Amino acid sequence: MFKLDRKLIVSASAVTIAALFTAGCVKSEATAGPAEATYANGKVTIDGGLYYPVVDGKTGPYLVNTQKQSGFTYGRTPTANEIAAWDKDVMPDGTGLPEGSGSVEEGEEIYEAQCVMCHGDFGSGGGGYPALAQGNAYEGQKTLTNQRTTPDKDGPIRVFGTYWPQASTMWWYIQSGMPHPKTKSLSNDETYALTAYMLNLNQMEIDGELVDDDYVLDREKFLKIKMPNEKGFEPNIDGPTALEDVRAYYSVPENFGAQKVKPSERCMTDCQKETAKVATIQNGGISDFLPPISVVRDLPVEEGETVAGKDDYESSCAVCHVDSSMGAPAVGDKAAWEKLKGKGVDAILANAINGFGGMPPRGGTDLSDAKMKDAVDYMINASK
Amino acid sequence: MNEKTSQKDLETLSNDKSLNESNRRDFFKKTAAFSMTALAGTSLLSATDALADDPAIMHHVPWGQKLGDPVTKNRYGIPSAYEHNNIRRNTKLLASGNFQASIAVCPLHESEGIITPNGLFFSRSHGGTAHIDPNMFRLMIHGLVEKDIVLTLDQLKRYPRVTRTHFIECPANGGQEWRGPQFNSLQFAKGFMSSAEWTGVYIKTILEDLGLKPDARWMLAEGSDNSEMGRTIPIDKVLDDAMLVWGQNGEALRPEQGYPVRLLVPGWEGNLCVKWLKRLEFASEPFYCKEETAKYTALKKTGKAIQHFYANEVNSTVVSPSPEKPWTDLKDGDLIEIEGLAWSGMGTITGVDLSFDGGRNYVTAHLKGLVLPKSWTRWSYMHTYKKGEVLLLTSRAMDDAGYIQPTVDEETEILGVEGVYHRNGVETWEVTAEGEVNHVQIRS
């Protein structure tokens, strides 16, 4: 979402197209010049790496196509409506953030219906999905210097409130990428409500006021949010000096843990510290590889036919039922399912359709009754 | 060797040079019978005499006698059924619930050369693999350009093609092992990367006609998938070697790689190479995308985190032997190749050193094959194996940007152990007296 008036640019570009095609257009100097010009002028690359200029018709080992490479007339200008339909990003200064409002209370309601199955009670996380809050954000931010150098030490808390630099990211994320099984389905007001609930869970303040259970968030208040860890990142990426700041940062290897050395001066003997020892994998390490590692060359075991309900299970139900970390009975857990079957298969299906405990109706999906039955049957059969 | 049998075989062969079809069948039947006798007899003989005729040679093989598949079978070729263990793998640790915001890693221990077959290219997404109808693909380029544009796939592919070989690496490759080794596996310790020959168009070629406004400093690249994955790219890279690619190893991108079009920013973090691309927007300020916050930032021990951490630094690993492919079958005195990969997102590999004592002392390894910028590079060291020797194999690469891999201690002293991303300290395989291979780290 950029700040200039789009209509102006569209109309201006309509006038200038002809000129652009003949003259080329990357004319501006310094910040917007082509990389060839920028780097050829002696600037180092922005990432600290090496730049391969075109020399004798080659860049590095590759021959470069030196024929005419401009003046293409493919494509068309998008309409203003088309740009508006896709240009949904929300920037820290509020560009792209629509009007609207939502309360913490409404947010909690939506959260309990659509989010809790992955992000856990009160944003505590679970099942591999990120935690959204872990206590007071201002206190949590102070843990970012924590280092788990021994097993008994606590690590840094990296959740929305303690770590993220900008709140705009959360609003944009919720509306474009959440809820995970059905993204881009929340209204602006719902997104404000969920954002308010996030701030509430993280015990954050806006303009000195605690986002308590009665808080109602709107655009004006949103723009006053100051994230506790806003200044916790390097290099600087804001403002007109940003690119030079980034370039300067990556020109110093120590900043990012890198090492430079002349090849002739590299260490070839006695290169480890005296204190360095052989550290082995502890407690078996991580070994739940799927499928288990094998280098055998034999014929595979034939797989059976596709089973009814399997696809729907995998795309809609496995989110919570793949293991027990979300509190749902895990598929394959015989004991759990035997217990459920005590109530009768029809009762299991009814609960799945109507919702039960932490599970929203139909698990938050729009599967038909018949498809729900197939999926439930599949889960029961897979747990015998 | 049962001398009698082999002598008789030779006689049969030399005495009848005009074997017709039925005679030949008899000959092989007889040979098979003889070799079975030979096999039965060998167990009583001493080790040096124990060589029996190999049934794989002496017998008719099933595929040698019947007709093979017609060319009409498998209109798109598939690997031999026997290669079914050469696959991507995943682990629950690196997954959100149901493996839809997850990663499946590349079997480096079975990989050859510097190109990954498309079906084995590591697969990472933030909302599952999207399946895009190419007829509905649109790419919109807008923002601080003189002229906005919308392109269909066919229109995009009219631009002049550029083909480049580059690896793509997830910056979390090795990121689980800041506090010590975790994976006793090459596939999981280093397989968050793959390499391919990519075909597409330089973005700078398209921009030449669109025209960048002077204060365009950043480009948002956004996908059309479930997660609308987005990242902010500085204009320097856009105007250097960033590409929009639709070709992967001579065919269309695989869905897992962003079919029909992904961004390629050579050498930089894999997640910046946004898949299922739909939109490029140019702006004066960065976008603070969702994956530029808690994810893909490297928290240093100072409490400050590196954001916009672009290039994957110089790195290397021994790929043979590996925990998956140990040396347990080697005999004393065998000449064996220690083979490895080296790569740098900041330039071209200029050299690799190999240590047999965990990085205390190094010898120079040999680069081989094509040595390309921001690409996998193969290296080799020929070693005479001594049965029972215990080794700590550590490799260390350098690139032409001047960088060299740090030791584990050197890296953690600056960054701490909570960074998750961009770990490129030297890696070590322990070879045990039995020839087994274990992942270890040499650190204080």
Residue type, B438: N
Domains and CATH numbers, chain B: 3-65 (no CATH), 99-288 (3.90.420.10), 315-440 (2.60.40.650)
B398/A contact by beta carbon, under 8 A: yes
> Does any CB of chain B come closer than 8 Å to the CB of residue A99?
no
Bridge partner list, B383: B336
- Write the DSSP symbol of residue A382: T
- What residues pair up with B298 in beta bridges, in sequence order? B306
User: Looking at beta carbons, which residues of chain B come within 8 Å of A297?
Assistant: 82-83, 85
Of A32, A128, A235, the CB nearest to B214: A32
Of B399, B405, B441, the CB nearest to A279: B441
**Best interface-test mutation with B: which of A20, A293, A311, A323 has the largest number of B CBs within 10 A?**
A293
pLDDT at B373: 98
Q: Do B146 and A49 touch (CB under 8 A)?
A: no
Angle between helix B203-210 and A6-23 (nearest 10): 100
The DSSP annotation for B150-195 comes to: EEEHHHHTTSPPEEEEEEEE-TTTTTT-TTS---S-HHHHH-SEEE
pLDDT score of B67 more than 50: yes
What is the maximal distance between C-alpha atoms in chain B? 88
Q: Do B361 and A268 touch (CB under 8 A)?
A: yes
Residues in chain B within 8 Å Cβ distance of A6: 142
Q: Does A52 touch chain B (CB under 8 A)?
A: yes
Helices (H), chain A: 6-23, 35-40, 80-86, 104-114, 116-119, 137-141, 160-163, 168-177, 188-201, 219-222, 242-250, 310-312, 318-321, 334-341, 345-354, 369-381
For B179, which residue in chain A has the nearest alpha carbon?
A149
Sequential DSSP letters for A274-302: TT-EEEEPSTT-S--EESPP-----PPPP
* Amino acid A88: pLDDT: 97
CATH 1.10.760.10 domain range(s) in chain A: 101-222, 310-381
CA-to-CA separations, B263 to A83, B102, B201, B246, B271, in angstroms, rounded: 20, 20, 10, 9, 10
Two structure tokens written together for A200: 């509430």
The CATH homologous superfamily to which domain A310-381 belongs is Cytochrome c-like domain (1.10.760.10)
Nearest-angstrom CA–CA distance, A347 and A335:
17
pLDDT digits (tens, 9 = 90+) for B330-371: 999 999 999 999 999 999 999 999 999 999 999 999 999 999
Average pLDDT on B30-42 reads: 43
Peptide bond into A34 cis (omega under 30): no
> Among residues of chain B, what percentage have pLDDT more than 70?
89
Closest CA to B221 of B149, B140, B280, B151: B280
**Calpha distance B360→B442 (Å, rounded):** 9
Q: Do residue B360 and residue A146 have CB atoms under 8 angstroms apart?
A: no
Do A380 and A373 form a contact (C-beta atoms < 8 A)? no
- The chain A residue lying nearest B440, using CA atoms, is A280
Contact map slice: B 217-276 vs A, CB within 8 A: 217-218, 220, 222, 226-228, 230, 232, 234-241, 267-268
Does the CB of B62 have a partner CB in chain A at under 8 Å?
no
A38 contacts B239? CB cut-off 8 A: yes
Pairwise CB contact (< 8 Å): B155 & A267: no
Question: What does each of the 384 residues of chain A score in pLDDT, given as a tens digit?
Answer: 544 443 333 333 333 333 333 333 333 333 334 455 567 667 789 999 999 999 999 999 999 999 999 999 999 999 999 999 999 999 999 999 999 999 999 999 999 999 999 999 999 998 788 999 999 999 999 999 999 999 899 999 999 999 999 999 999 999 999 998 899 999 999 999 999 999 999 999 999 999 999 999 999 999 999 999 999 999 999 999 999 999 999 999 999 999 999 999 999 999 999 999 999 999 999 999 999 999 999 998 876 656 788 888 877 777 777 777 667 888 888 888 888 888 888 888 888 888 887 777 888 778 888 888 888 888 888 888
The answer to whether A176 contacts chain B (CB < 8 Å) is yes
State the residue for tokens 């935690």: A131
Structure confidence at residue B236 (pLDDT)? 95
B159, closest residue in chain A (CA to CA): A72
- Distance, in Å, from the CA atom of B309 to the CA atom of B296, rounded to the nearest integer, reads 8
Contact B397, B404 (CB under 8 A): yes
List the alpha helices (DSSP H) in B43-152: 55-58, 62-65
Cβ atoms A137, A144 nearer than 8 A? no
Contact in structure between B403 and A253 (CB atoms under 8 Å):
yes
Select the residue from B106, B244, B285, B319 to test the A interface by mutation, using most A Cβ atoms within 10 A: B285
A243 vs B217, B290, B307: nearest CB:
B217
What average pLDDT does the segment B68-89 reach?
97
CB pair distance less than 8 Å for A13 and B82: no
Candidate CATH numbers 3.30.565.10, 1.10.3720.10, 1.20.120.1200, 1.10.760.10; the one for domain A101-222: 1.10.760.10
Return the minimum-mean-pLDDT range out of B23-32, B190-199, B377-386, B389-398. B23-32
What residues form DSSP beta bridges with B404? A259, B398
- What does the longest C-alpha to C-alpha distance in chain A come to? 79
- Shortest distance between the Cα of B26 and any Cα of chain A, in A, equals 31
- All residues of chain A having their beta carbon less than 8 Å from the beta carbon of residue B85 are 294-297
Can you read off the two tokens belonging to residue B302? 């100072």
Prediction ipTM score: 0.89
Please give the residue of chain A at the shortest CA–CA distance from B236.
A35
Residues making up chain B, counted from first to last: 444
Distance CA B60, CA A324 (A): 53
Q: Show the tokens assigned to A290.
A: 């799927």
| Bridging pattern class, strands A277-280 and A259-260 | unpaired
Q: How far apart are CA B353 and CA B355, in angstroms?
A: 7
Contacts A250 to B, Cβ<8 Å: 310-311
